[in-house]
A and B are shown apart, each in its own frame.
Chain A
Amino acid sequence: MQKLLALAAVALLTLPLLTTSGVAHADPVARSNSDCAELLERWAGDPKAAPKRDIDACKDQLAAMSPTDLAPVVADPAPATLADTDPCAGPNAGDSVLCWGPWAALAPAAAAPLVALNLPESPIDCDVISELAAQCVPKLEPVLPIEGCAPGTPCGFATIVSGPTSTGDPENTEFGLFNLAPDGTTFNVSPESGGEINAVPMTTTVTPRPDGDGNLRATGTQGDVGSRLIARVQQDEDGDVLLAADIWTHGTRNNAQSGYFAWGTATSAVGLNALNAGNVTLNFSGPMSVNNATTGNMTLKFGGSPTWSGTWTNPAYSFGAGGVVSGANLISQPTKFTDNVVGTGNFVQGALVGEAGGPRGIAHIIDVTLAGQGRIKDVGLLREVVPGLPIGP
């Protein structure tokens, strides 16, 4: 009996403790608004500062208050919102293993930017979902109307018209990529519209020009199909063509295609790095090929953000353009044209070809509409202007 009485006494003594403990686990401790605000501030810095239910209770408590009620208890005069207090919405959320991530929406899937020619001048490719997003440096990835040139690879551009005359109405003139075998015995044209124009094997002759370059003539026929190149060339000591420009023709007697071209080997990555590291400025000049009364002058400024500018002067007109250099490629920016370039779709695209110490040039195409002149499409190989040396052809 004494034992039973003792047990009853112990039970009576521990009951309040158990009850208090049970309440503590069942309901948050009632806090003042200021305590809640303080707790939330600590929680914002340390998600483990308090149990989630306490935090939720405080959030509910503060959310139920009017902004005027909050004013005295929150140091920040602005109302405390969930986003303000959520540690997983803060700038350091990426550092916390307790947070899912800082993003609020799904990032777009990785893909080539679908940007039309006259849309953003300098599309920025920056990984916005990366933890390094805050440190991301915008990278210029210009959109090229014609496929660009990879550093160190043979590359060129061409105009394409129907018939053997090489010249046609600009509206009926197409652009394409041009490639030439170093020995000049074959060439290839890839029109914008698709398809391939592959020359038949040709025999070549090269005779010297007074300016030190060579005159290349290459002809070949295979059955009813013939190919021909008439070009100005620069060769190395082995006779391989380094730079070439002017006329290509291919097809049958009754169904030929032809045009002009400018070709070389795009400057290597090592060469481009050296130019950028040295903040080098290069100047280029020379006649265009479709209308050789037009002289082009271009300046490329290498460095952290390489740019270019240029002018094209003809007895009947003149215009200017500028843009960015990306790798070996250069492309105009719509805002950098002179005022007489009108309408939409205007562009100048090119590539730096050749290496330091050897013949260098700019193989490029222009497609502009000039006020009072109409549309002009041309291709040209501008040669580097080396101080103290005469300008090449």
Chain B
Amino acid sequence: MNLCKPAAALLLIVAGATAQAASLTLVPSAATVAPGGAFTVDLVLDATSAPGMHPGTFSGQILLDFNNTQLSYGGFVAALGASGASDDVTFYLPPALATIGISQTVSFGFVKPGDVGMVGTFSFTALGAPGTLAKLGLVDGDDFFESSFVNKDPTDQRFTPLITGAQVSIVPLPAGLWLLGTAVGALALRRRFRTTAT
């Protein structure tokens, strides 16, 4: 009983801290993907707790890294605004791809109007063998001075979002899919034999 109160207080503090922090998160379209399968990953910003005016205009630089033997990069498309071009995400540094060994990185600097929403979408194709866990690392692209992120409304005000990467499992095709394929093939062969016999 005595432990309950401190624990509850700690939970409240953690919850409060979590609620206060701005975040930048990768959200894959699926948790698993078959070898050779394509998938997308959304980059989502929540800056409701950032300093400055709200809704604001947020700017920062990111760097995404992945293993190029597991994933093939297909590009990044900036999100379009809901109410016209003025809400579109724009780049102050265009996306740039770099490769060092098996590590590949994508970096860019963006300006996003609005407190919450998609910055844009990455496209990938799974290359790894079944059982591979493909990791997508995400960091601040210019962390020399800790954070490159600012709310630009009405003046530039720094903030440090909590940045979270993602991972995708490369898995074999499901058994059901194999059975379905086999059945469809068998039916096709049977039909062909009947036609030949007639």
Contacts and interface: CB of A to CB of B under 8 A. Distances in A.
Given A164-B145, A217-B92, A219-B142, A232 B111 contact: no
Interface in B70-98: 86, 90, 92-93
A109 to B, nearest CB: 47
A48 to B, nearest CB: 76
Given A164-B146, A230-B150, A256-B145, A393 B93 contact: no
A165 interface: yes
A249 B150 CA distance: 13
A292 B158 CA distance: 12
A162 interface: no
B154 A287 contact: yes
Interface in B92-141: 92-93, 109, 111
B145 A258 contact: yes
A258 B146 CA distance: 12
Contacts of A217: 59, 92, 109
Contact of A292 (B53, B86, B92, B111): B53
A205 B90 CA distance: 13
B152 A292 contact: no
A209 B145 CA distance: 24
Interface string A204-246: 0101011000010101010000101011100000000000011
Contact of B144 (A205, A215, A226): A226
A242 B87 CA distance: 27
Interface residues of B toward A: which range? 20 to 34
A165 B157 contact: no
Interface string B144-170: 111100101011111000000000000
Interface residues of A toward B: which range? 20 to 34
A210 B86 contact: yes
A71 B146 CA distance: 91
Given A247-B156, A287-B155, A292-B154, A228 B144 contact: yes
A166 interface: yes
B145 A249 contact: yes
Interface in A226-284: 226, 228, 230-232, 245-247, 249, 253, 256, 258
A329 interface: no
Given A164-B145, A228-B144, A247-B150, A205 B93 contact: yes
A215 B152 contact: yes
Query: B142, B147, B157 — which one has the most chain A CB atoms within 10 A of its CB?
Result: B157
A159 to B, nearest CB: 13
Contact of B155 (A210, A226, A253, A393): A393
A197 B53 CA distance: 31
Interface in A335-393: 393
B152 A209 contact: yes
Nearest to B86: A210
Given A207-B111, A217-B92, A226 B154 contact: no
A292 B54 CA distance: 12
A205 B109 CA distance: 10
Interface of A: 164-167, 205, 207, 209-210, 215, 217, 219, 221, 226, 228, 230-232, 245-247, 249, 253, 256, 258, 286-289, 292, 393
Interface of B: 51-53, 57, 59, 86, 90, 92-93, 109, 111, 142, 144-147, 150, 152, 154-158
27 contacts: A164-B145, A165-B146, A205-B92, A205-B109, A207-B92, A215-B59, A215-B92, A217-B59, A217-B92, A217-B109, A219-B144, A221-B144, A226-B145, A228-B142, A228-B145, A230-B59, A230-B156, A232-B152, A246-B155, A247-B156, A247-B158, A256-B145, A287-B154, A287-B155, A289-B156, A292-B52, A393-B154
